[in-house]
Amino acid sequence: MIQKQAFGRTGHQSTRVIFGSYALSKATQTEANQALTLLQKYGVNHIDTAPMYGNAEKVIGPWLTKHRSDFFIATKTRRRSRQGALDNLERSLKRLHVDCIDLWQMHGLTGPAGWETVMGPDGALEAFIEARDTGLVRFLGVTGHGVKAPAMHIRSLERFDFDSVLLPYNYLLMQNPQYAADFNTLIEICRRRNVAIQTIKSVALRPWGGRPKTYNTYFYEPLETPKTIEKSVHWALGFSESFIITAGDIRLLPKMLDAATRFEKRPPDSEMNAIVDSVGMQPVFS
C-alpha cells in the first residue's frame, strides 16, 4: 500500500500519490472503471480532476455514486470571472454526481493578466469564497504550470490563504537555479501555514517537440521503463511533505503506483544524472 499523511490542514489523510485524472480524458466508462478499481487496489484515496480533462469528470461520476466516501475529490476551474467559475462548479458537481467538492482549485493561475482578473472585483476568488461559505466546496487551492508557477503561487498566497498549491517538480527542473529558489521560498511559506503541496510532471522525459504524441501526456513525452519511472517517482517522493499526482496516461498508472509502493528513500544525484544521460532527459519548461 502507499503511504498516507495529512493533506495540509484539511484533516484528510491522503495517499502520497494522487490520481491525476487527465489520464481519463479520452477514456470509456469501462476503462475508467478499471483505472479506478486499480486505485482501490493500491489504497489511493485522492482524485484530482478538472472540467477541461475531456471525459474525466463524466466517467468518474458514476463510480462516485457507490464510492464517494472512499475518495477526497479535487476539481478546478479555468474561468477567471465570478459567474464563470460558479457555472463551472455547477457543471462539475453534476458530472461528478456529488453535492460537495473537497478541494476546488484555480486552474493554471500563472498569467499576470488572468491573476488580476481573478483577484479583482467580480473575479473568481469571490466565487471561491462564496462556494466555500455555502458548503459547495470545503477547501480552496491554486495550480500552475511552467517556470513561473512557484513565484505566482507566492503572490497568490500573499493575496489569499489558499489550502493547497500544485506545481511541477522533478529532478531536472530543480536544477534550474531560479526555479529551485522560487520553489523553496514557496515551500517555506506552505510549511508555516500548513498548506498542502502537490507536485506534477515527476516522470517527464522531455517536451514533445515535433514528435508524434504516443502518450496522452499533454506537455511532455514521459519516461517509459519501470526503472526510470521508479527512480523518478522515488526522487519526487523524497520531498517528504509533498503529494505527487500521477501522469496523464492510464498506461503509466500501474507503473507509477507500483513504484510508489516500494519507496524508501530518494535516489542520489549520481543515479538521477545517469538516467538523464542515458535517456536524454530535457527540461519540459525553459
Question: 251-262 pLDDT, tens per residue?
Answer: 999 999 999 999
Q: What are the C-alpha distances in Å from 96 to residues 24, 141, 187, 277?
A: 13, 19, 31, 43
Q: Mean pLDDT over residues 138-154, rounded?
A: 97
Q: Which of 272, 171, 168 is nearest to 227 (CA)?
A: 272
Return the minimum-mean-pLDDT range out of 186-190, 201-205, 212-216, 271-275: 212-216
Q: Considering the chain, what is the average pLDDT of its residues?
A: 97
Q: If DSSP codes are grouped into helix, strand and coil, which group holds residue 17? A: strand
Per-residue pLDDT band at 162 (split at 50, 70, 90): very high
Please report the domains of the chain, with CATH numbers, ordered by start residue.
4-279 (3.20.20.100)
Q: Mean pLDDT over residues 228-252, rounded?
A: 97
Which pLDDT belongs to residue 263? 97
Q: Phi, psi (5° rounding) for residue 206?
A: -170, 165
Q: Mean pLDDT over residues 21-26, rounded?
A: 97
pLDDT in tens, 31-85: 999 999 999 999 999 999 999 999 999 999 999 999 999 999 999 999 999 999 9
> Would the pLDDT of 206 be above 90?
yes
Per-residue pLDDT band at 1 (split at 50, 70, 90): confident
> Would the pLDDT of 218 be above 90?
no
Which pLDDT belongs to residue 219? 87
Q: How far apart, in Å, do the first and last CA atoms of the chain sit? A: 36
Q: Mean pLDDT over residues 238-242, rounded?
A: 97
Q: How far is CA 52 from the centre of its chain?
A: 14
Which pLDDT belongs to residue 178? 97
Which pLDDT belongs to residue 18? 98
CB-based contact 222:205 (threshold 8 Å): yes
> Would the pLDDT of 210 be above 90?
no
Q: Identify the H or E element spanning 5.
A: strand 4-6
Q: Give the largest CA-CA distance in the chain.
A: 53
pLDDT above 90: percentage of residues in the chain: 97
